[in-house]
């Protein structure tokens, strides 16, 4: 076995080690020789220069000739399944970039790799030579025919899906040899391991569902079938043809389970979600931060839960001080003279848009004739408002305890230089020359809570607001320090803060309090059933709510196939209305699109649709668009693997969606009634 360290870039080694640990070993790859091989082969050496920074992401990446380099886990999974021993001879069909061949070369004595694209074959030879892999031969040809003159092989790996295992490849196996290949239609397959027992007997193991590019050639699919110029053929059954399920069956299950959605203004829209009304917390997601249909659907569902089912809190993925301005408006409080206009921080369109404005107006009107104790409020869960929260704590203490206010000014003073750019504090706090403000902000929170009884006597609601701002400052200080360590901890700290804010909010409302949460799918879906949890050690509000509330938490995701979205190209960049690309063929979104249900609710719970729940549980790709959308890098920047029915209890689908309409951010003369959106 060859174990030389190929990479000349030491910066890549930690990323490669994390890839093996999180993406491969944690998913069940146990063969120590495979793990060692994956640690030693530099994936970045097989990727074009502009994409090398993504080399160790948990996804396939584009390479030359319009092809892809496989996801690292898939490479490891197939190689482990082949059970390669030292001294063996291996055939790889579909060499692509040459990366899998390089890993195989670490395990076997000889590797023969076939690639049908001459450009890729030449590049693979060059890349393999560059890293010193001298036991691998690459040639151009029809891989479905194998390499007869070099046969027999101890193992054959086929990195493309065919309608059946070609007999010619079976015949090139040594007795006892293993062939690993995806078999099925052109969009989904089963990964099979064929073991040759003797001259005429083969044993088949089904290793689970996979999705590979089509195997093109004499023993696979015809070129015109793949390009869509001819109908797909039904492959002839041979003595070795494998049975496989009809691909339409899952689409039929989706069609039968799909409950059409009426217009947003129709009371029947919200009534569809009455099945979740007994929950303590209903979490409503979004597949992007800039899609109008997601906001309008959440508004319709929330109105129903407030009007008919006793929900009194709307908690959103927004900063506490900004949301507090909205809350005073919807609950008919007096505007504060020192209150800044809401939602001025990037991305302004996320909450300062016409759909949110309409919901806020409805909430204010709903509350108008209710006693103060029964009015529904609007609250922020996020922790980015460092400057505003420090100001709010000091302003509050100025009214109830001037001595404590002075102490707060002194303690928060260490953060003052960075309040406009808190990320700069994170960089500075890493320096040995600078002592962090952690002790000061924690002491401020502790002292404030220690005087709870005294302060509550003045004004309980104002104390709760100040205490939450103090918690936010303490958590934000930690967040901006941790974000520079490059670990999952900064994400986890943020979502724990949002969950704990939700808990404090519910506690403040008393026994029986119920809340609706508006946040991105990545926050409200159970992270344990996505790459976030399984690969990156990240948790989120959805997971924490399930762990805390069990079945009293309802997690509802949202999705779309195509349309337009409001998003930026870079952080702090201008908002653009961008076209959303049609969903990938190997995604959940494409699956629902192909079921041809333009607007629907899918109840994903096992008790609602047993067969659908079971078939959808197998992980697929899911699209996540935040405030940044980059269509040109969509596969590796916006898709991740997830198990939809384990991630969500239900899924709300709009096949085509439109961008939100942002509100102006200048002062509007003569329309005070639009406060707090007049600025």
pLDDT in tens, 515-548: 999 999 999 999 999 988 888 888 999 999 999 9
Task: Name the pLDDT band for 679 (thresholds 50, 70, 90).
Answer: very low
> Cα(307)–Cα(292) distance, rounded to whole angstroms?
23
Task: Name the pLDDT band for 654 (thresholds 50, 70, 90).
Answer: very high
Between 335 and 559, residue with greater pLDDT: 559
Is 670's pLDDT higher than 90?
Answer: no
Q: Output the pLDDT for position 443.
A: 64
Is 232's pLDDT higher than 80?
Answer: no
Q: Output the pLDDT for position 209.
A: 81
- 257-266 average pLDDT score: 95
Q: Output the pLDDT for position 497.
A: 87
Q: Which among 70, 144, 188, 292 is annotated as catalytic?
A: 70
Between 650 and 666, residue with greater pLDDT: 650
SS3 letters across 168-193 = HHHHCEEEEEEEEEEEECCCCEEEEE
CB neighbours (10 Å) of residue 32?
Answer: 9
Is 562's pLDDT higher than 70?
Answer: yes
Choice among 183-187, 280-284, 657-661 with the minimum mean pLDDT = 183-187
Q: Output the pLDDT for position 485.
A: 53
Is 430's pLDDT higher than 60?
Answer: no
Going from the C-alpha of 531 to that of each of 59, 528, 543, the distances in angstroms are 10, 8, 13
Choice among 287-291, 323-327, 577-581 with the minimum mean pLDDT = 323-327
> Cα(48)–Cα(159) distance, rounded to whole angstroms?
20
Between 96 and 224, residue with greater pLDDT: 96
CB neighbours (10 Å) of residue 134?
Answer: 10
Q: Output the pLDDT for position 346.
A: 83
Is 411's pLDDT higher than 70?
Answer: no
Question: Is residue 70 annotated as part of the catalytic site, yes or no?
Answer: yes
Q: Output the pLDDT for position 3.
A: 40
What ranges make up the beta strands (E) of 459-503? none
Task: Name the pLDDT band for 343 (thresholds 50, 70, 90).
Answer: confident
Q: Output the pLDDT for position 199.
A: 92
Residue in the structure block whose two tokens are 């948990």: 58
Q: Output the pLDDT for position 49.
A: 76
- 437-460 average pLDDT score: 62
Average pLDDT, the chain: 84
Between 535 and 652, residue with greater pLDDT: 652
Is 4's pLDDT higher than 60?
Answer: no
Task: Name the pLDDT band for 6 (thresholds 50, 70, 90).
Answer: very low
pLDDT digits (tens, 9 = 90+) for 28-37: 899 999 999 9
Q: Output the pLDDT for position 637.
A: 85
Is 292's pLDDT higher than 90?
Answer: yes
Identify the CA nearest to 554 among candidates 604, 502, 505, 589. Answer: 604
Is 46's pLDDT higher than 90?
Answer: yes
Joined tokens for residue 116: 């049908």
- Whether the link from the prior residue into 392 is cis, omega within 30° of 0, is no
Give the range with max mean pLDDT: 211-225, 355-369, 403-417, 654-668: 355-369
Whether 258 and 600 have beta carbons less than 8 Å apart is answered as yes
Q: Output the pLDDT for position 630.
A: 92
pLDDT digits (tens, 9 = 90+) for 117-160: 999 999 999 999 999 999 999 999 999 999 999 999 999 999 99
- 6-19 average pLDDT score: 76
CA-based torsion, 581, 585, 589, 594: positive or negative: positive
Is 83's pLDDT higher than 50?
Answer: yes
Q: Which helix (H) or strand (E) holds 592?
A: helix 588-594
Is 259's pLDDT higher than 90?
Answer: yes
pLDDT digits (tens, 9 = 90+) for 603-620: 999 999 888 998 899 899
Between 371 and 5, residue with greater pLDDT: 371
Q: Output the pLDDT for position 132.
A: 93
- 170-176 average pLDDT score: 96
Is 256's pLDDT higher than 80?
Answer: yes
Residue in the structure block whose two tokens are 């991740």: 640
Identify the CA nearest to 206 among candidates 188, 182, 178, 239. Answer: 182
Give burial (CB, 10 Å; 0-12/13-18/19+) of 489.
middle
Going from the C-alpha of 602 to that of each of 193, 521, 539, 615, the distances in angstroms are 35, 15, 24, 14
Share of the chain above pLDDT 90, in %: 57
Is 336's pLDDT higher than 50?
Answer: yes
Between 106 and 382, residue with greater pLDDT: 106
């Amino acid at each position: 076995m060859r174990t030389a360290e190929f990479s000349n870039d030491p910066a890549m080694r930690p990323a490669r080690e994390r890839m093996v640990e999180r993406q491969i070993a944690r998913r069940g790859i146990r063969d120590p020789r495979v793990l060692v091989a994956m640690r030693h082969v530099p994936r970045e050496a097989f990727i074009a220069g502009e994409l090398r920074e993504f080399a160790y992401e948990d996804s396939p990446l584009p390479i030359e000739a319009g092809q892809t380099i496989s996801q690292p886990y898939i490479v490891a999974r197939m190689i482990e399944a082949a059970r390669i021993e030292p001294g063996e001879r291996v055939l790889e069909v579909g060499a692509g970039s040459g990366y899998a061949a390089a890993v195989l070369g670490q395990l076997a004595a000889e590797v023969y790799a076939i690639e049908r694209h001459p450009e890729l074959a030449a590049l693979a030879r060059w890349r393999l030579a560059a890293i010193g892999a001298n036991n691998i031969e690459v040639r151009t040809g029809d891989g479905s025919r194998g390499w007869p003159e070099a046969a027999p092989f101890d193992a054959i790996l086929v990195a493309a899906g065919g309608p059946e295992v070609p007999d010619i490849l079976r015949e090139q196996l040594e007795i006892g040899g293993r062939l690993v290949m995806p078999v099925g239609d052109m969009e989904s397959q089963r990964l099979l391991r064929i073991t040759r027992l003797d001259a005429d007997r083969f044993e088949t193991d089904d290793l689970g569902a996979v999705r590979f590019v089509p195997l093109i050639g004499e023993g696979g699919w015809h070129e015109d079938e793949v390009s869509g110029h001819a109908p797909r053929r039904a492959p002839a059954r041979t003595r070795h043809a494998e049975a496989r399920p009809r691909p339409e069956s899952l689409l039929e299950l989706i069609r039968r389970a799909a409950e059409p959605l009426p217009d947003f203004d129709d009371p029947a829209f919200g009534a569809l979600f009455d099945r979740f009304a007994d929950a303590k917390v209903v979490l409503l997601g979004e597949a992007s931060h800039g899609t109008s249909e997601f906001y309008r659907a959440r508004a319709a569902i929330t109105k129903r839960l407030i009007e008919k089912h006793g929900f009194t809190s709307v908690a959103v993925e927004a900063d506490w001080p900004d949301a507090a301005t909205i809350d005073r408006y919807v609950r008919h409080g007096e505007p504060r003279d020192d209150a800044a206009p809401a939602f001025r921080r990037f991305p302004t369109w996320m909450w300062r848009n016409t759909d949110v404005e309409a919901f806020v107006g409805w909430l204010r009107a709903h509350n108008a004739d209710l006693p103060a104790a029964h009015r529904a409020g609007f609250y922020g869960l996020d922790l980015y408002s460092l400057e505003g929260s420090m100001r709010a704590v000091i302003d509050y203490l100025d009214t109830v305890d001037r001595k404590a206010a002075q102490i707060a000014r002194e303690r928060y003073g260490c953060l003052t230089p960075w309040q406009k750019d808190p990320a700069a504090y994170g960089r500075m706090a890493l320096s040995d020359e600078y002592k962090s403000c952690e002790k000061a902000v924690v002491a401020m929170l502790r002292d404030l809570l220690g005087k709870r009884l005294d302060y509550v006597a003045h004004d309980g609601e104002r104390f709760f607001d100040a205490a939450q701002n103090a918690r936010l400052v303490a958590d934000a200080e930690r967040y901006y320090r941790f974000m520079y360590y490059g670990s999952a901890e900064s994400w986890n700290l943020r979502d724990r803060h949002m969950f704990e804010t939700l808990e404090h909010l519910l506690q403040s409302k008393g026994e029986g309090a119920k809340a609706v949460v508006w946040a991105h799918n990545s926050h409200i879906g159970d992270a344990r059933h996505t790459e976030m949890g399984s690969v990156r050690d990240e948790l989120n509000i959805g997971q924490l709510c399930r762990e805390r509330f069990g079945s009293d938490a309802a997690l509802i995701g949202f999705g779309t196939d195509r349309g337009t979205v409001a998003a930026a190209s870079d952080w702090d960049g201008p908002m653009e209305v961008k076209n959303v690309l049609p969903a990938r063929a190997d995604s959940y979104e494409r699956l629902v699109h192909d079921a041809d249900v333009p607007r629907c609710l899918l109840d994903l719970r096992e008790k609602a649709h047993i067969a659908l729940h079971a078939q959808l549980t197998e992980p697929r790709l899911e699209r996540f668009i935040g405030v940044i959308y980059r269509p040109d890098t969509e596969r590796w920047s916006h898709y991740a693997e997830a198990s939809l029915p384990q991630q969500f209890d239900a899924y709300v689908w709009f096949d085509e969606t439109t961008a939100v309409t942002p509100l102006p951010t200048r002062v509007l003369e003569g329309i005070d009634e639009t406060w707090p959106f007049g600025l």
